[in-house]
A and B are shown apart, each in its own frame.
Chain A
Amino acid sequence: MNQRVTFRGWWLPILLIAPQVLVSAVFFYYPAGQAIWQSLFIPDPFGLSSRFVGLGNFEFLFSDKYYRASFLTTAVFSILVSLCSMIPALFLAVMADRLIKGSGVYRTMLIWPYAVAPAIAGVLWLFMFNTRVGIVSWYLGHLGYDWNHVLNGGEAMGLVVIASAWGRISYNFLFFLAALQAVPRSVIEAAAIDGARFWKRFWTIVLPLLSPIAFFLLVVNIVYSFFETFGVIHTITSGGPQQSTTVLVYKVFSDGFVGQDLGSSAAQSVVLLFVVGLLTIIQFKYIEKRVHY
């Protein structure tokens, strides 16, 4: 860190930093340590004692076909959420960027969903697709399509993906629009002089310039779909049907709190710890390289 003017004394800074260090130690490091510790044991059914099993919980975990399926579910879910939120957002941002007047109004309208909690978004979409009263499922029924996300795993996945992606469109839109507005006018003008039409310019010049921000958003959206979509899944499907929408975070919750399988839940927490670590490293590696957007 750079040389700076500093104040003397060491008890004051320790006092200043103490609240945060204390909260981090008690509610972050101790529980994380506990998770790692517990993942090495199997508690007896009465919770009175536990038996050391080493990596037994992990071996069991990865031989469990439901857990492996949950990995795949998470991967599919997070990729779909990222794509379903980034593509419409990019399209809308390109449109908004073309407008001189009125883009502010559209922006104000489009940022609303960001403020809507994932769990509330879940309720809104559940309402539209509810098998009994949902207006969309009713019209689908009239078109001859029998919508039932309670029984059909693919439809359940589709619904949680849309409900999760919906609020993210706002977020991605804001970042894409900022990036588009930062594209140098002169580059666009040069291409225009060469006779490149709007979409041609978009594909050959604008999109490549947007790729850093697109990659950044991809990572951020994947992190979002991993850790912040619990509310959507819990309100719409509760992980079902047949665990078809049970993502990793949902499984930690359902095994730990509903199933009371603490050893397995702790082992799953540790696996997630690695996943977050990996995603954070990717994010930082990228941010280091990012010059501007």
Chain B
Amino acid sequence: MAKDIHGMVEKRGSGLWLTHVFMILGVLIIFFPIWLAFVASTVTQPEIVKPPMPLWPGDQLWENYSKALFSGINVPVSTMLVNSFIMAISIAVGKIIISLLSAFAIVYFRFPGRNFFFWMIFLTLMLPVEVRIVPTYEVVASFGMLNSYGGLIFPLIASATATFLFRQFFLTIPDELAEASRVDGASPMRFFLDIVLPMSRTNIAALFVILFIYGWNQYLWPLLITTEPEMNTIVMGIKQMFPSGDDVAEWPVIMATSILAMIPPVIVVVSMQRLFIRGLVDSEK
């Protein structure tokens, strides 16, 4: 009997192939823009400017990618890639470090102003960079940090989300562990390094995936802060590759750059899928 009920609900029989058809169709439609960009990055400019462009890759892959990487349009794409890596990794690592430290302070200490600081950090959630662009730009400019990694990184490095997440996690660490290390006479930092940090490994990794993508995909802030092409990040640099007037854009090189810009975050997301989904769900809670 139980088996029959199971059979009624389970997914089999005539509907199944249709489900696969819908899924494949969905994947194809969603994938199409990426496929087209890839094709465009492997053909010549004349093949693109005379529509319709081919739908199957050509033989110019090496030419287009090496042109993009080593000479680019304003600046070699390899330079922009390096900038993007520095920015994304610094933002992710920086956010994680300062959030770990402040969450540790909030959970394991009672000190004057603790509640005030907690709310102060928490309320930064309401201040995304987009609502304070002009004054933040002025602050960074007054520090002489335009066109510098510091200017790219610091204004984006405070994260209420990460602090909140670590706080929630620290609250689940059994009190006995802290008690034991206190009885043993271990210093708070010993406890942090030997117990708390190793226990937070998975959370840190999951958060890293989300924050790396966040940092990599930044657009508005690098657009304001980096006026010199040498400091451009790849995501904001692509727009700068389009000609300003009526000239025809150099599509194969631009599309090769688009593909290069999406490879690192895609690799991170796909290869760390489980951590990524966990980080996504955690950081929205």
Contacts and interface: CB of A to CB of B under 8 A. Distances in A.
B205 interface: no
B154 A272 contact: no
Given A31-B139, A112-B269, A119-B235, A16 B104 contact: yes
A99 B18 CA distance: 11
A13 B8 contact: no
B101 A16 contact: yes
Interface in A113-133: 113-121, 123-125, 127-128, 132-133
A95 B22 contact: yes
Contact of A35 (B106, B132, B223): B132
Nearest to B7: A192
Nearest to B134: A256
Interface string A252-293: 110011000010011001001100110010000001000000
B102 A21 contact: yes
Interface string A82-124: 0000001001100110111010001111111111111111011
A134 interface: yes
Interface in B222-249: 223-224, 235-236, 238-239, 248
Interface string A6-19: 11011011101101
A193 B108 CA distance: 54
A193 B8 contact: yes
A34 interface: yes
A171 interface: yes
A265 B219 CA distance: 19
Contacts of A280: 125-126
Given A27-B139, A27-B155, A98-B15, A262 B102 contact: no
A112 B30 CA distance: 9
B61 interface: no
Contacts of B86: none
B22, B131, B285, most chain A CB atoms within 10 A? B131
A231 interface: yes
A178 B276 CA distance: 14
A137 to B, nearest CB: 8
A108 B133 contact: no
B93 interface: no
Interface in A215-258: 216, 220, 227, 230-231, 234-235, 249, 252-253, 256-257
User: Chain B interface mostly helix, strand, loop or mixed?
Assistant: helix
Given A23-B154, A28-B124, A128-B33, A192 B131 contact: no
Interface in A55-94: 88, 91-92
A64 to B, nearest CB: 18
Contact of B31 (A112, A132, A188, A189): A112
A26 B98 CA distance: 15
Nearest to B191: A7
A125 B33 contact: yes
Query: Interface size for chain A: under 10, 10 to 19, 20 to 34, or 35 or more residues?
Result: 35 or more
Contacts of A31: 132, 135-136, 138-139
B105 to A, nearest CB: 4
Contacts of A266: 134-135
Interface residues of B, number: 105
A58 to B, nearest CB: 15
A9, A30, A98, A170, most chain B CB atoms within 10 A? A98
A95 B112 CA distance: 54
A209 interface: no
A173 to B, nearest CB: 9
B19, B99, B127, B213, most chain A CB atoms within 10 A? B127
A16, A170, A262, most chain B CB atoms within 10 A? A16
A32 interface: yes
Nearest to B40: A127
A17 B101 contact: yes
A17 B105 contact: yes
A117, A121, A252, most chain B CB atoms within 10 A? A117
Contact of B154 (A27, A29, A166): A27
Given A19-B98, A124-B34, A112 B266 contact: yes
A234 B55 CA distance: 27
Contacts of A96: 23
Contact of B9 (A6, A24, A128, A189): A189
14 contacts: A30-B139, A88-B26, A91-B26, A99-B16, A108-B273, A109-B30, A119-B219, A119-B235, A120-B261, A124-B34, A127-B255, A128-B33, A189-B6, A231-B235
Given A23-B158, A100-B11, A111-B273, 7 more contacts: A7-B191, A120-B258, A127-B36, A132-B49, A185-B9, A231-B236, A269-B132
Interface of A: 2, 4-7, 9-10, 12-14, 16-17, 19-21, 23-32, 34-35, 38, 88, 91-92, 95-96, 98-100, 102, 106-121, 123-125, 127-128, 132-135, 138-139, 166, 169-171, 174-175, 178, 185, 188-189, 192-193, 198, 216, 220, 227, 230-231, 234-235, 249, 252-253, 256-257, 262, 265-266, 269, 272-273, 276-277, 280, 287
Which 4 A-B pairs rank lowest in CB-CB distance, beginning with the nearest? A117-B217, A31-B135, A34-B135, A231-B219
